[in-house]
Structure 1
């Protein structure tokens, strides 16, 4: 899907007129007949309705009838009425409305459906992709932000959501974009993060219903779909929620290269109990390894891709699924982010129930072997979010690899670092941006550290799924993550974290919500696979291509990376997997830079052919 949203004006009409030569362009009009939404989409991806001069459109995954939408938009008391839409309509979607002359655009809390906006021909234009907006004006990239993409394991909030394209902004989390008839745009906060105080016993019904509805939206009107069945709790839950709702469910698992990986045993246990399901298990040699094909250009120019190291595998999976007859694939992404309580919640618990927090700290230390002094220091820390951004993060960026067991509570986020091959200029650039962002009054996603961390993880996971879907959809198969729907996210965030923060239980909220749906044997799993063996195997297999990327590196030309230092790491792989994590962002940024067209005219031409 690709779309643009414009106001009911001559300027908006001129913007869409500039797109007229693009093949397959579809248009939904304002009441005046001028263009309102323009782009490319399949019929099943869009539902819209009108009620007098008002309009509403849902783009994405939602089971909304035209009659329901017409009644909904007719009953709105101004644009603020859209605030409650996600609570009434299950799914993951962009909501676009024209209400009393104002055009409103909003995405999902998880960033699976993201909104970007900028000024084109003198008016505010919204879109689902920033690169397509930039192509309308011939804008380039913001080189001053490139160093941020090197931060490992991922850029912290809010730096990670700053758009890399000049003149284009990302709509902040939980906000709505309103475009006035004169083309002026303003950002309005619409979503309030729920207080995490609902007892588990009371919140389970809402969570279970939200999960049920999220999967039902994806199965509606379908006889067949496919789904991951890795053996983990998340994909297993999605499969059992989907089973019986379609005539044929095809589950897919790719065996790991690590012989110690026990996912296969748990997946087989679930598969034996799934009704109306066929199961495909691929040996590792059926799929490309990590880092395959990185010398090829990336067709998705939004930003450096978080799925880059698995890009070739995702493409091969899409091809195989399409050949098997699937056009929609479900995944369990988002389950870890929502249901593995962040250690940062211990910091919040210490202010709410000090004695209980001490007990949980002791339990977590026993299970995860945390060092005592750093854990206590983190528990007692009172640093504000802005001070953490401006001071604490910058201090540790150039340190040696952080041991998560020695410092489990790292202020308002995880322990961030820059790669060993980042130049002093790159490090200075990131520190400057951190201070500048703090001085502008950046606020956390929640006043609670645990909830802020969870929301940031959810949005990072949502961006991952958005990019996975875009890549897979080019080959005929969309990827859907029911856990990342707004209704599921809000139901999970509302649960009392004090009841979920248990070192002796694995994902207690999800386990209890799925009791009676997922077999008890699978609900009892406490292990979790890790995939460093796959990463090492891919690095060894594709070392020559990765070394070729070190020749004439764009990042080195920009003064951000020491190519010789990166080449040295590739030739002498470290024995500790954590030291490889910074590699992912560096390679993603380098491939993205190499994929960018040479100039504005070529950029516009290239983006015309992008899906």
Structure 2
């Protein structure tokens, strides 16, 4: 899918003609002028009309629910309530409304599975689902300061990590609506995170209903659907929900081949309770290793792809499930972010329910070996998000702290630039961190969960473009708006049960997933596979050090990066620094491989 959104003005016709030169379809406003121009697969566009009003869903929506849209559209005020429309229809999609006053309103998803970008093309405000589409139309280049941000591990803090890397192109902030009119565009604040006040029983029921609807949005059309079956609670729950629908189910499991990893044993238990599904289990000999066949040029030019090291594995999976007839693939991304008890929740719980927090903090200290004094200091910390960013700026190049020192009670993960980044890169990033920002929620845990969900959404969106080349769309039901809202509304203390794993999801899936599977007490760890992939493909990675574009930009010392690739790595956390640099370098090479005037390839 790729599309442009145009305001209702005669001047937009020229932009539509330029976009049409690359093929596609044009959907008109009620005036007959071009409104949405682009390409999409059958079923990815749903249209509703009410008088001169138009509403479009671009993405994947539950067909039965889409029938409610004309009545909703007709009852909206002149400023449409797109959040209400999104809640009425399960799935993940862009919502675009054309109103009788000539204004256009649009929104993506809370998780960033669907995002929007804006620019002025020939003086006309235009929006698109991909920034490189707009960059191709206005001849924009790459913002080198923002490329430096993408070198940060594990990721650049919100909202810096969401800034568009193409000059003259802006991204719509999380939870905002976009308004387009002939004179310009604006981002209008809309959605806010729910207060975490719903008790466990009621919250679990809401999560169950939201997840049921989210999975049904992918199964209702029948045919063949595939899903990850890792053995973990997240993917396993989706498989049991999908098995209850009309679609034929194919599950896929990558066997790690590591005696310490018990995923396969738990996946086998789940598969035994799903006798009508076809189960694929692939050992490491049948799956590309991590870092294999990294693309030297890729048609997806939005931004660096953080999952570059599994690029070949994603291509392989999509090809295998497509060969079994699957056109949709479900993944459990987002489950950890929403249902795993993030440590940052303890900070908020200590302020809202201090007596309850004592028991949870004691359990966390016992399990994670936190020392008392640093724990107390972290719980008493009252730094604002802007102050946290300023602190991150001061420690940006000090090296990764020991795992035991990272309590996880701050606003987000500890962020660092790699040692091979240049002083110029560090200066650019520090200046951006000093700008400050507002968090996604006043609660640290809510902010971190939402930000992590958006990072997952970015990955799912990008993986979907890769799988689409095999005819398979990529879906993460946990990242649907309704699921996120239901999960974040549950009380903090009910999400943090020290004696239970993912208590909200477990309660929601009781009676759907066998109790023996829900009771899994372990969680697999995959760093041995990362180290093995790096060892096998080190030579190919070293080739990237020759003529390194990041070095030409002055952001990276190529010799220092080469030394890091050749060095010993005792922590998988350090490999994230390597990964971020590799993804940036691969992206820049992809951009360089496409002529600036070629909009079609972009």
Q: Tell whether the structures are fold-level matches, with TM greater than 0.5.
A: yes
In structure 1, distance between residues paired with 2:597 and 2:378:
49
Partner of 1:591: 586
- Is 1:253 paired with 2:279? no
Cα deviation, residue 161, structure 1: 0.4
In structure 2, distance between residues paired with 1:299 and 1:311:
13
Partner of 1:332: 332
Partner of 1:197: 197
| Cα displacement string for residues 251-305 of structure 1 (whole angstroms, at most 9, x for unaligned residues) | 0011114221100000000000014201010111111111112252122100000
In structure 2, distance between residues paired with 1:464 and 1:328:
16
Partner of 2:529: 534
Task: Determine helix, strand or coil for the equivalent of 1:165.
Answer: coil
Task: Determine helix, strand or coil for the equivalent of 1:188.
Answer: strand
In structure 1, distance between residues paired with 2:245 and 2:568:
47
Partner of 1:47: 46
Cα deviation, residue 356, structure 1: 2.3
Task: Determine helix, strand or coil for the equivalent of 1:510.
Answer: helix
- Is 1:85 paired with 2:78? no
In structure 1, distance between residues paired with 2:497 and 2:148:
37
- Is 1:425 paired with 2:424? yes
Aligned ranges for residues 12-161 of structure 1 at < 5 Å?
12-23=12-23, 25-64=24-63, 67-100=67-100, 101-161=102-162
TM-score normalized by the length of structure 1: 0.96
Cα deviation, residue 575, structure 1: 1.7
Partner of 1:306: 306
| Cα displacement string for residues 147-205 of structure 1 (whole angstroms, at most 9, x for unaligned residues) | 1001101111111001000111110011110112x241111112121001111112221
Task: Determine helix, strand or coil for the equivalent of 2:511.
Answer: coil
In structure 1, distance between residues paired with 2:82 and 2:553:
44
Cα deviation, residue 89, structure 1: 1.2
In structure 1, distance between residues paired with 2:557 and 2:110:
37
Q: Is the 8 A contact 2:201 2:507 kept in 1?
A: no
234-243 or 270-279, which moves further after superposition?
270-279
Q: Is the 8 A contact 1:257 1:533 kept in 2?
A: no
Partner of 1:503: 498
In structure 1, distance between residues paired with 2:527 and 2:13:
52
| Cα displacement string for residues 94-139 of structure 1 (whole angstroms, at most 9, x for unaligned residues) | 0011112210110100000111111111111111000011100111
- Is 1:460 paired with 2:459? no
Q: Is the 8 A contact 2:16 2:34 kept in 1?
A: yes
Cα deviation, residue 322, structure 1: 1.3
Partner of 2:264: 264
Cα deviation, residue 246, structure 1: 2.7
Task: Determine helix, strand or coil for the equivalent of 1:405.
Answer: helix
Cα deviation, residue 64, structure 1: 4.0
| Cα displacement string for residues 231-259 of structure 1 (whole angstroms, at most 9, x for unaligned residues) | 01000000000003135210001111422
Cα deviation, residue 604, structure 1: 3.9
Partner of 2:600: 608
In structure 2, distance between residues paired with 1:512 and 1:389:
36
Residues 598 and 321 of structure 1, relative CA distance in 2, 3 Å threshold: closer
How large is the RMSD of aligned CA atoms in angstroms?
1.4
Q: Is the 8 A contact 1:306 1:467 kept in 2?
A: no
Cα deviation, residue 527, structure 1: 1.0
Residues 518 and 129 of structure 1, relative CA distance in 2, 3 Å threshold: same
Q: Is the 8 A contact 1:315 1:472 kept in 2?
A: yes
In structure 2, distance between residues paired with 1:203 and 1:320:
37
Cα deviation, residue 67, structure 1: 4.6
Q: Is the 8 A contact 1:374 1:407 kept in 2?
A: no
Task: Determine helix, strand or coil for the equivalent of 2:68.
Answer: helix
